[in-house]
């Protein structure tokens, strides 16, 4: 009976640990997917059009360098995150909506990529740079229009869309995360009480974390790639955070199993 109960608690540990990892990484997955699949793609396409007009440069080298630079740009990720937070805060809580000022970030992106262009003989003057900045930066009029569209979206959301937003809000809430952590610690404590040992709980926790790690490292990327290939959607879902968390869980799980077996042999 004790083995059955401990086995059941171990399964619950797997579920709670997996949910906790997903909760911590869900927002990052959404934001990075938007940043990589929409924002960065649009920027690359725009620069592609400009570079293609210069016959005297090696087009492939230039666009590949710019593409790599933009794809690894934390500045764009931060811009996307700030705007996403602002919009989600309004849609979920009805907070005052105000599009984030991104003037400095836009200038950094232009500076980063203008250096690459200059290295390949494409000269951009300060006037050209300022013209690009002025065309990209959101002025008050455009800001007001964006706010109107967001307000309109909120006012006309269907019950299904509201439900999705509620699910997102719950999955990324700190209340859920704290609750999951407390639940995990409580399960470990209960397993320790049942086994009446200072170390035997390690095998259950080790097995649970190893299972979580295997799922996150091996099966999660496989399932995501399979779903994307079946849906024919030209987008990349970044689950790097989940995979990294999976490696950590796998490592901790293996260590706990080893420590358990060492103590068991000594005793």
**pLDDT, tens only, 171-201:** 888 999 999 999 999 999 999 898 887 788 8
> What is the SS3 string spanning 119-159?
HCCCCCCHHHHHHHHHHHCCCHHHHHHHHHHHHHHHHCCCH
Burial class (CB in 10 A: 0-12, 13-18, 19+), 102: buried
Last residue of a domain, one of 107, 128, 158: 158
Structure tokens at 19: 């949910």
Do residues 136 and 252 share a domain? Answer: no
- What does the pLDDT read at residue 54? 62
3-class SS at 198?
Answer: coil
SS3 per residue for 28-54: HHHHHHHHHHHHHHHHHHHHHHHHCCC
Mean pLDDT throughout 99-111?
A: 66
Give how many domains the chain has, as a whole number. Answer: 2
- At residue 114, the pLDDT reads 72
Task: Choose the weakest-confidence range: 56-60, 232-236, 252-256.
Answer: 56-60
- If you average pLDDT over each of 69-78, 112-121, 248-257, which comes out highest? 248-257
Q: What was the pLDDT predicted at 141?
A: 46
1-5, 146-150, 250-254: which range is least confident on average? 146-150
Higher-confidence position of 221 and 149:
221
Judge if 78 and 116 occupy the same domain: yes
Looking at the structure, tell me whether residues 44 and 114 fall in a common domain: yes
Residue 44 lies in a domain: yes
Helix-then-strand count for the chain, H and E: 12, 0
Tell me if 216 sits within 8 A of 245, measured CB to CB: yes
Q: Which domain holds residue 147?
A: 34-158
Note whether residue 92 is domain-resident: yes
**Is residue 29 one of the residues assigned to a domain?**
no
- In angstroms, rounded to a whole number, what is the distance separating the alpha carbons of residues 126 and 203? 64
Element (H, E) at 212: helix 201-214
pLDDT higher than threshold 60 for residue 229 = yes
Nearest to 264 by CA among 216, 195, 217: 195
Domain check: are 72 and 39 in the same one? Answer: yes
Predicted local confidence at residue 214, as pLDDT:
94
């Amino acid at each position: 009976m004790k083995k059955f109960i401990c086995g059941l608690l171990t399964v619950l540990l797997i579920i709670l640990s997996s949910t906790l990892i997903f909760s911590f990484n869900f927002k990052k997955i959404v934001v990075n997917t938007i940043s990589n699949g929409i924002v960065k793609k649009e920027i690359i396409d725009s620069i592609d059009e400009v570079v293609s007009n210069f016959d005297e440069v090696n087009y492939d080298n230039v666009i590949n360098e710019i593409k790599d630079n933009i794809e690894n740009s934390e500045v764009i990720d931060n811009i996307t995150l700030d705007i996403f937070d602002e919009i989600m805060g309004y849609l979920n809580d009805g907070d005052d909506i105000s599009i984030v000022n991104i003037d400095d970030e836009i200038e950094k992106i232009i500076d980063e990529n203008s250096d690459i262009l200059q290295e390949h003989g494409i000269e951009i003057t300060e006037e050209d740079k300022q013209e690009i900045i002025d065309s990209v930066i959101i002025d008050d009029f455009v800001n007001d229009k964006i706010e109107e569209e967001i307000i309109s979206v909120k006012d006309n959301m269907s019950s299904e869309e509201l439900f999705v937003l509620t699910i997102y809000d719950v999955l990324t809430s700190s209340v859920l995360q704290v609750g999951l952590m407390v639940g995990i610690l409580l399960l470990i404590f209960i397993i320790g009480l049942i086994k009446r040992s200072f170390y035997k709980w390690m095998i259950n926790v080790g097995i649970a974390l190893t299972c979580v790690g295997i799922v996150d490292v091996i099966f999660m990327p496989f399932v995501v790639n399979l779903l994307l290939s079946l849906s024919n959607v030209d987008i990349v879902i970044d689950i790097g955070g989940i995979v990294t968390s999976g490696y950590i869980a796998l490592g901790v799980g293996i260590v706990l199993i080893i420590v358990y077996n060492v103590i068991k042999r000594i005793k």
